[in-house]
């Protein structure tokens, strides 16, 4: 257990909880560096295949940047992997699931957007309110949100800083599932179990191909691009195990290598 977060391993799944409920899980530089270390270890551990990110308590997933700490002249040195240790972690091919259990504002929303799947409970509130305090959502928010829900809908949120509830988030397309209050982690674990039914090598290849492919102008360029995780998938034991298990009519035994 860290000073600002704690983790729980469950087989191939790592649950990461931001633990600053007294400030609605807002993150200052020391918390960001601690989380960066947590996700460094997650990325390097071959037995961990999926991470779930949530916030401590019932009020907030994360209220974003700790503005009071910033205004007081606190430590501002950020990790190279970005806010929460993930918003600039572009080389992570393992899936991340956000279990949003309350307020996800500013950097907190950017943390969720940096995840691949967002599960929101009935208490969830999303916004990028940075312009209201003279800032901008530059930890990926102004770039990920338009790519997720389209430019016009994203601009409607970004330029006004307006708050969006979980049901509207699902309609807009950045929330995968809405669940009753208090059930976001349980639902995220269910999503993780579905992912675990698939080859982790295939999951990583797919994630890398999606995100790196989006850097190309069109499908032709994206299809022609070379992906390291796809090459690793083709060389893996799982690449042989999947078809073999299918032909033998049995569940595959994934190795993740």
130 classed as catalytic: yes
Q: Which of 58, 110, 168, 241 is catalytic?
A: 110
- Biggest CA–CA distance in the chain, Å, is 64
Q: Which of 3, 22, 41, 130 is catalytic?
A: 130
Question: Mind giving me the DSSP string for 174-221?
Answer: S-SEEE-TT-HHHHHHHHHHHHHTS-HHHHHHHHHHHHHHTTSSSHHH
110 classed as catalytic: yes
What is the rounded distance in angstroms from the CA atom of residue 135 to the CA atom of residue 152?
20
Which candidate, 78, 14, 80, places its Cα nearest to that of 42? Answer: 14
Q: Which residues contact 194 (CB under 8 A, 6 or more apart)?
A: none
For the annotated catalytic residues, the residue numbers are 110, 130
């Amino acid at each position: 257990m860290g000073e600002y977060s704690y983790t729980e391993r469950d087989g191939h799944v790592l649950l990461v909880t931001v633990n600053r409920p007294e400030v609605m899980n807002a993150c200052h530089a020391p918390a960001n560096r601690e989380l960066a270390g947590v996700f460094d270890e997650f990325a390097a551990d071959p037995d961990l295949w999926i991470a779930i990110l949530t916030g401590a308590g019932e009020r907030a997933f994360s209220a974003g940047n700790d503005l009071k700490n910033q205004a007081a002249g606190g430590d501002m040195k950020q990790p190279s992997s970005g806010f929460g240790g993930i918003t600039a972690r572009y080389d992570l091919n393992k899936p991340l699931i956000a279990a949003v259990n309350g307020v996800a504002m500013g950097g907190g929303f950017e943390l969720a957007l940096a995840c691949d799947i967002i599960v929101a409970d009935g208490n969830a509130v999303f916004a990028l309110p940075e312009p209201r305090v003279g800032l901008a959502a530059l930890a990926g928010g102004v770039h990920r949100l338009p790519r997720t829900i389209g430019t016009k809908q994203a601009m409607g949120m970004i330029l006004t800083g307006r708050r969006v509830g979980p049901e509207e988030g699902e309609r807009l397309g950045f929330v995968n599932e809405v669940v009753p209050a208090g059930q976001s982690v349980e639902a995220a674990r269910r999503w993780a179990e579905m992912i675990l039914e698939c080859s982790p090598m295939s999951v990583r290849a797919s994630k890398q191909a999606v995100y790196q492919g989006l850097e190309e102008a069109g499908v032709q360029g994206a299809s022609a691009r070379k992906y390291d995780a796809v090459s690793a998938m083709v060389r893996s034991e799982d690449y042989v195990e999947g078809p073999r298990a299918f032909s033998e009519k049995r569940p595959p035994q994934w190795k993740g290598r």
